[in-house]
Amino acid sequence: MGSKVWKRGEAICLSSLQATSKVTGGIVVDRHVGIDLLATYETRSKTLRDKLGFSPEEAGVEALELVTSCLKRHESTKTVPAPTVEFLAEVDEFNRTAGGKNPILKEQSSTGVGEWAGYTCNIGKGCSHGCLYCYAEKMATRFKRVEGAEEWQEEIFREVSTAGCKKYPSTVMFPTTHDISPAYLPAYRVHLYNLLNAGNQVLIVTKPHFESVQAICAEFASFRDQMIFRFTIGGLNGEVMRHWEPGAPPIEERLLCLKHAFEQGYTTSVSAEPMLGGQKEAIKLYYLLEPFTTKEIWFGKMNNIGGFRKSADPEVAGQAKELMGLQSDDEIMELVEALRGRPKVQWKDSIKEVIAKRNR
């Protein structure tokens, strides 16, 4: 080290900590961490400048952050800590007293949830996120399980047990009709443990709370191969997101969760369904999130948005009309063209329908 002059492309071997310091000093390494950090830095910087209009300085700062995150991920995956004794005691106690039915059900549909998983698991009724477009709320209201959207926001645990859970033949998506709010978190972690400990593959779809993601990441490193985090991030405009998803974590918190799960060595994915903006915002979202996403980024339109156009609330009707305009078939096809060939991009059925219509 010291006064040594590094040649571009020279292979050296450093610990991750040394590598971090060299990276932040403008020198990057390859061999020890098994990833080409220089290429990562340069590609990221170029993408941010070319695709997202960042200045060279801003792009440099962001690119360094990505390199640091890659190094943290590398560091995390070197160790596989088992769940703590305290958490296992919590699991035992919970399972000892838990009663009720098995909450895991076979998914009947081949679209929606069925595109992602063969089984579903839910441990509560209601969701404090109160998304205006929530299908689970509409069903609960229709079948008189709740009085309406207001009551839906109360989170009530169901009496269920996953103690002695079996291994299911395909992925279990958990949850699908509520979220992992801090209120659901303690019970959620126990049920998640039961599912994973039985050998199941679990898809965790959530508008993520940092408290919840951090608590899951802390205990489940030994199950990393069986889990996928899929974070729902439908847009980047905080105001619009607050309109449609008033009780859900803000965009900044969701991005933090994605980065945290990535750095902790977990498999990460994003669901931009429903998209809450037009094609330009979706493209921006893709380029911002892609490096922290190890699996797919799904895009889909809001289902049944037409109904909101007739809402008595002028704000809801206005937002719906604007979104419909932003997601016309022409706009969707521009998105499809712009992201064509990107390996992580996946289209949900609502977008596949537009593509099929145009190809007829």
Q: Residues in the site for ligand SF4, rule: CB under 6 A?
A: 127, 129-131, 134, 136-137, 177-179, 207, 248
3-class DSSP state of 128: coil
Asked whether the bond before 83 is cis by omega within 30 degrees of 0, the reply is no
Q: How far is 231 from 272, CA to CA, in rounded Å?
A: 8
Residue pair 104/172 in contact (Cβ under 8 Å)? The answer is: yes
CB neighbourhood size of 334 (10 A): 16
Q: Would you say 37 or 127 has its CB closer to ligand SF4?
A: 127
State in angstroms the smallest separation of the CB of 225 from ligand SF4: 26
Minimum distance between the CB of residue 145 and ligand SF4, rounded to whole angstroms? 13
**Cα(79)–Cα(153) distance, rounded to whole angstroms?**
39
CB nearer ligand SF4, residue 249 or residue 291: 249
Residue 29, judged by CB atoms within 10 A of its CB (0-12, 13-18, 19+), counts as buried
- Residue 277, both tokens: 């903006």
In angstroms, give the least distance from the CB of 68 to ligand SF4. 31
Nearest approach in angstroms of CB 303 to ligand SF4 is 11
Shortest approach of ligand SF4 to residue 125 CB, angstroms?
10
Closest CA to 196 of 207, 184, 204, 208: 204
Contact predicate 236/284, CB 8 Å: yes
Nearer to ligand SF4, 129 or 259 (CB): 129
Q: Which is nearer to ligand SF4, 207 or 224 (CB)?
A: 207
Q: How far is the CB of 53 from ligand SF4 (least distance, A)?
A: 31
Q: In this complex, which beta carbon is closest to ligand SF4, that of residue 223 or of residue 244?
A: 244
Q: DSSP E strands: which ranges in the chain?
A: 104-106, 119-121, 124-125, 156-157, 172-173, 202-206, 227-232, 267-272, 297-299, 345-347
With respect to ligand SF4, which residue has the nearer C-beta, 43 or 311? 311
In the complex, least distance from residue 128 CB atom to ligand SF4, rounded to whole angstroms? 8
Give the nearer residue to ligand SF4 in terms of CB position, either 136 or 215: 136
Closer CB to ligand SF4, 60 or 130, in the complex: 130
| Sheet arrangement for strand 345-347 | 104-106, 119-121, 172-173, 202-206, 227-232, 267-272, 297-299, 345-347
Q: What's the min distance (Å) between Cβ of 88 and ligand SF4?
A: 29
Would you say 109 and 166 are in contact if contact means Cβ atoms under 8 Å apart?
no
